[in-house]
Amino acid sequence: MLTTKETALLNAAAELIQENGMIALNMSDVHKRAGYSRAAQYQSFSDKNSLLAALSMRELVLNTYALEEQRYSDLSGNFSVVLRPVVYRYLKLSDRLMIDSAFNNMLKEVRKLPDEEQFIFWKRGFEFLNSEREQDK
């Protein structure tokens, strides 16, 4: 469960990424946007990679719940790029293990989706991410 501070920092980071892109994300902008000190930010997220891992993790968990509850309009793919090997391999082992578990849970739910046009993108996209991740191991 995320704290209020962690949620605010993640929301601020998500907003900044939507405005400027993931590469341009600057950690000093995140704590300012969220209204916290730099020290408070680094107590929760030690670096940009841990912040990206947390954003990806949150998205995977929320998407899994949305799939289980058939709330398909709530699905989001904003931080799936973190799952790509080029970013993923730079994460700490603990973050990678946490993401792997959440990814596998979501993949199980994606595979249960009906073979309808509205779900083809999700099914193909997550199977592609899965095959990339398998090749990278």
121 exposure class (CB count in 10 Å sphere: 0-12, 13-18, 19+): exposed
Q: Is the model's pLDDT at 86 over the cut of 80?
A: no
Question: Which residue segment(s) compose the domain that 113 sits in?
Answer: 4-70+78-136
Give the number of domains in the chain: 1
Q: Is the model's pLDDT at 127 over the cut of 90?
A: yes
Q: Is the model's pLDDT at 89 over the cut of 70?
A: yes
Output the pLDDT for position 3.
Answer: 92
Output the pLDDT for position 6.
Answer: 95
In CATH, what number is assigned to the domain containing residue 93? 1.10.357.10
What torsion, rounded to 10 degrees, do the Cα atoms 7, 81, 116, 58 define?
-20
Output the pLDDT for position 137.
Answer: 67
